[in-house]
């Protein structure tokens, strides 16, 4: 979480600075915001928007794609590294 806050320009330019700058209540507020609205990373937000549009186009033409098929940088829920490695082998 600290990495995402700092990379988004929240609390400072380093994790140590953000930990010194942000109070516990602010961090909880950011966690709640992220849980409700998704990643703070702008690139991930853009990827999600594009994936939603692509999914609608796919479904409109009779496709059966999943949202995550259009999100190459997002990990599917319930997928972990070990499971992915077993499936890849």
pLDDT tens for 52-71 read: 999 999 999 999 998 888 98
pLDDT of residue 89: 62
Sort residue 41 into left (φ over 0), alpha (ψ -120 to 50) or beta.
beta
For the cut 70, the answer to whether the pLDDT of residue 8 exceeds it is yes
Query: What integer pLDDT is reported at residue 62 of this predicted model?
Result: 93
Neighbours of 89 (CB within 10 A): 5
The pTM of the full predicted model, rounded to 2 decimals, is 0.58
Q: Please compute the mean of the pLDDT values over residues 20-43 and round it to a whole number.
A: 89
Q: Print the SS3 string covering the chain.
A: CHHHHHHCCCCCCCHHHHHHHCCHHHHHHHHHHHHHHCCCCHHHHHHHHHHHHHHHHHHHCCCCCCHHHHCCCCCCCCCCHHHHHHHHC
- CA angle centred on 83, ends 55 and 4, rounded to 5°: 65
pLDDT at 17: 93
User: What's residue 77's pLDDT?
Assistant: 66
């Amino acid at each position: 979480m600290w990495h995402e806050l700092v990379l988004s320009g929240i609390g400072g330019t380093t994790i140590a600075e953000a930990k010194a700058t942000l109070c516990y209540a602010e961090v909880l507020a950011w966690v709640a915001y992220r849980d409700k609205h998704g990643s703070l990373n702008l690139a991930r937000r853009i990827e999600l928007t594009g994936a939603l549009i692509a999914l609608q186009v796919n479904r409109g033409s009779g496709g059966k794609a999943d949202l995550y098929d259009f999100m190459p940088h997002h990990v599917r829920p319930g997928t972990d590294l070990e499971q992915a490695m077993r499936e890849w082998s």
